[in-house]
Structure 1
Amino acid sequence: MTFEIRKERTRQGPRKLVREQAEYFRLMDQGLSSQEACRIVGINFRTGKRWRNGSQPTGTRKGKPPVQRPASPLPDSSRHLREEERIHIADRLREKASIRSIAAELGRSPSTVSREIKRNRHPDSEVYRPHAAQARADARRPRPKPRKIARSPELGDFIQEHLDRKWSPEQICQALRARFPERPEMHVVHETVYQTLYLQGRGELRREIAAALRSGRTWRRPHRQAQRRQPRFTTPMVMISDRPADAEDRAVPGHWEGDLIIGKDGTSAIGTLVERATRYVMLLHLPNGRTAEHVRDALVTTVQALPAHLVRSLTWDQGSEMASHGSFTVVTGVPVYFCDPASPWQRGSNENTNGLLRQYFPKGTDLSLHGPERLAAVAAELNGRPRKTLGWETPAERLHKLIAA
């Protein structure tokens, strides 16, 4: 019988949309998309999404769990294999029929039949028994399923320990494969860790661990366009387009990117330097302010402490703190190149590092409270982390190799 959309479109109040819910989930089980099922039932697509996934709590509204559905499959569902189809598969397998011929007889894809046999056959004898296969499929269908991290306390403890040490989920997953190469149950991808952290109400890992993520968020947010930055000074600048080619491909070490992270009310700052080839980090102590003269003096002191072959150029944005870039070049002999306006990706290594540093120096805090010893300790911790882009070496190891060479 064709479903008829409710003619009364006012708010239902205490009366729930029971009939609409049942029809919506029946259509979903038949393989329709959520948007198409919502159109047929006559509900907003956000309502269907809320029925499937629940809703998050807000300041004025409590969160709601997903709508509870019966775990048993619908008898007339064409999306999943039925028991009589599994009996047919078992009979034809005993007759040595091919996968493609069985699929053609059932009106199914050959991959569906092949996957059914591999997933639901007996794990030891590898014999396909239809009633046992139906039981395995029914047991696999209920949702939600316990997550892999929840099933292994050892895995959860390892992830928790390294999140507390401010490792990223991808670094943790790489360490798991290196530490337990012969134990696939201890291997997860970083998306599994993110989903476990972002999912509320599951308790696989403590909710507070989400604070260990470098973004500080407990749910995903879309990327937004950066605000346009206007030039702060009119003195002649050498643009990044004139930077040597060896700096662009990171083949030669010694090309640095720099910036400032600003503290509360703009009254304090810390200078950051990142070497492009090794991602090695150095922090500038600016106790007296962030004027052009203060930044220049801190840069001169830092650069002169490095070997000459490891300081070939410096790339900065068009901030007013680099108004004295000319005198810096005269003293050190290091050319300064400037990014185009509103183009932070042109010094992407430094932008990434500034995001990492915000774990240690949160926005809205007074950065003048951190002395040179604290800055050196933070830089050492960052330089001791394995990096994917370095083949999981640390920046300190890569720089040590260059200095030794």
Structure 2
Amino acid sequence: SMRAVSRVLGRSPSTISRELERNASLTIGYLPYAAHRTAAARRPRPRSRKLDEGALRAYVEVKLRKRWSPEQISHRIVKEFPDDGRMRVSTETVYQAIYIQGQGALKREIAASMRRGRTRRKPRRDSAHRTRRFMDPMISIAERPAEADDRAVPGHWEGDLITGTLNQSAIGTLVERSSRFVSLVHLEHDHTAETVRDGLVKTVIRLPDALRRSLTWDQGAEMSEHVSFQVATDMDVYFCDAGSPWQRGSNENTNGLLRQYFPKSTSLSTHTAEDLRAVAAELNERPRKSLGWDTPAERLHALLELT
């Protein structure tokens, strides 16, 4: 019986009764796949869209041609037609009429008059589901040891690239967090991940062990070879959160100072390794307010003596 079926399925008897009444065949009886097709065919409830025709569509079309935004149209129409309930449209309805071209919506040339000039809706990206930048797993800056945060122990570095005209050339920049000591990486031909890795290894391997504790970088593609760098230098690599340059504040500040020597919109490939060493030496002999007017070279020497 229907009540026995309802007990087995954990449904109300009336649910079973309605299903049989609506979707069973008069001749064959109840066939589940045929019943599903019948229900699916009955599901659509087609109706005309609000902006398919009429005075409301004409109003929206005129305002879009005047380069009004959908939000402006949605709110202004209430002021102009306060007593006409038919002259109402939401911002989202206007956007759908613009972007859903295949369903009798507004013309493509009207969409082109939008402020952004798009004829398709731009998908929103969820920051919690970002595409992985690297194949190898990244270690978050949240896992960086406390000694790096309080700048008490030397050997924790921040790194980045400064780029030249059209991003065709670059210089690697390294800043030691405790002393603000600067080291520049010469990238002669390009700044691919392999070139950056080799340049960093060549620079870092010259440092004493006490100055090779960690490196913090942003999520730029140039550091996709971070695992092989770590193996070559025995130096942990930590990555900042996406879009958080302040987590490498010392490096960002130093990059600003370096622009005095390497202006934006200029080619950086003309500078030799000797040029970079000279600039780094000059910065390391410049007194800093954050160091009590010590120079980075003096502060690093004092820290190395203590450790």
- Normalised to the residue count of structure 1, the TM-score between the two structures is 0.43
**Secondary structure, aligned partner of 1:261:** strand
RMSD after superposition: 1.6
Measured after TM superposition, the shift of residue 374 of structure 1 is 0.8
Identity between Structure 1 and Structure 2 (%): 67
Q: Is 1:375 the counterpart of 2:276 in the alignment?
A: yes
Q: Which runs of 5+ in 2 are unaligned?
A: 1-126
Between the two structures, name the one with larger relative contact order (CA 8 Å, sep ≥ 6): 2
1:404 and 1:245 map into 2 onto residues whose CA distance is 21
| CA spacing shift, 1:231–1:275, aligned 2, 3 Å | farther
Q: After superposition, give the CA deviation of every residue in 1:198-234 in whole Å (9 maximum; x if it has no partner).
A: xxxxxxxxxxxxxxxxxxxxxxxxxxxxxx9986434
Aligned to 1:332: 233
Q: How do 1:5-404 and structure 2 match up within 5 A?
A: 232-404=133-305
Instruction: State how many pairs are aligned.
Output: 178
Kindly provide the CA deviation profile for residues 260-295 of structure 1, in whole angstroms up to 9, marking residues without a partner as x.
Answer: 001111110000000000000000000021011111
Q: Is the contact between residue 230 and residue 341 of structure 1 (CA under 8 Å) also seen in structure 2?
A: no
Deviation at residue 333 of structure 1 after TM alignment: 0.8
CA gap 1:231/1:343 in 2 versus in 1, 3 angstroms: farther
Using a 3 Å threshold, how does the CA distance of structure 1 residues 231 and 277 change in structure 2: closer, same or farther?
Answer: farther
- In the aligned structure 2, how far is the partner of 1:297 from the partner of 1:309? 21
Partner Cα separation in structure 1 for residue 281 and residue 132 of structure 2:
33
| Cα distance in 1 for residues equivalent to 2:264 and 2:208 | 33
Q: Residue 329 of structure 1 contacts residue 336 of structure 1 at CA under 8 Å; is this kept in 2?
A: yes
Asked whether the 8 Å contact 2:157–2:177 carries over to 1, the reply is yes
Give the conservation status (yes or no) of the 8 Å contact 1:272–1:350.
yes
Distance 1:379 1:250, change over 3 A: same
Aligned-pair distance for 1:399?
1.2
Q: TM-score, normalised by structure 2?
A: 0.56
Per-residue deviation at 1:404? 3.8
CA distance in 2, matches of 1:310, 1:287: 25
Deviations 1:167-221 (A, max 9, x none): xxxxxxxxxxxxxxxxxxxxxxxxxxxxxxxxxxxxxxxxxxxxxxxxxxxxxxx
Rg: which structure is higher? 2
Seen in structure 2, the aligned counterparts of structure 1 residues 230 and 389 have a Cα distance that, compared at 3 Å, is: farther
- In structure 1, C-alpha distance between the alignment counterparts of 2:178 and 2:131, rounded to whole Å: 29
